[in-house]
Amino acid sequence: MASEKILAGKKSYVEGVKEILDASMGGVVFNYKGITVEEDTKLRKELREAGVHYEVIKNTMLKIAIRGTAIEGLSDVLSGSTAVAIANNEDPLAAARILNKFCEASKGKYEIKGGYLDGEVLDVEGVKKIANLPNRDGLLSMLLSALQGNLSGLARVINAVKEQKEGEAA
């Protein structure tokens, strides 16, 4: 039987994982089986630079951490080698984007098991869809372009009306 000290340590660890998950908007569960040290180091560096928390977690511990939460449905994919990448709230799609790119580059050697975004559990296809969305800056740029186009069109219409009124007055 495990000692009280070990059980307390595990309970504390699970609570820490639960806090990180509760504070996040998005994350990805990933099968890292067969990853080399070089690949892992490169992946961890890229995730860290994007502000993504990446950790290899025992399936049992992760199942306990998500029990009773909106993302409890992820329990279905928790088998085998499991790592979780938890994105910060500034760019909740960062984990999906980076891991999807990594898996595609590996030509099927590694796989995404599932993920979540804003409390919704995503299957593999859902994670791939959100991974292809632009980041926050890209979305803002698209919004500004749309607004700028509409505003310049409005300005041209107003100017045309003004010129028409001036022509009628003369």
Domain ranges across the chain: 4-133, 134-170
Mean pLDDT of 71-99: 90
The sheet carrying 83-87 orders its strands as 53-56, 83-87, 26-31, 111-117, 120-122
Residue 150 in tokens: 């509409």
Residue 39 has pLDDT above 80, yes or no: yes
pLDDT the model gives residue 136: 62
Crossing angle of helices 37-49 and 94-105, rounded to 10°: 150
Residue 48 has pLDDT above 70, yes or no: yes
Mean pLDDT of 152-159: 72
Lowest pLDDT segment from 4-18, 45-59, 152-166: 152-166
Residue 170 has pLDDT above 90, yes or no: no
Reference 110, options 58, 34, 56; nearest CA is 34
Residue 119 has pLDDT above 90, yes or no: no
Strands 111-117 vs 26-31: parallel, antiparallel or unpaired: antiparallel
What is the tens place of the pLDDT at every residue in 58-82? 999 999 999 988 999 999 999 999 9
Mean pLDDT of 93-111: 90
Is domain 4-133 classified as CATH 3.30.413.10?
A: no
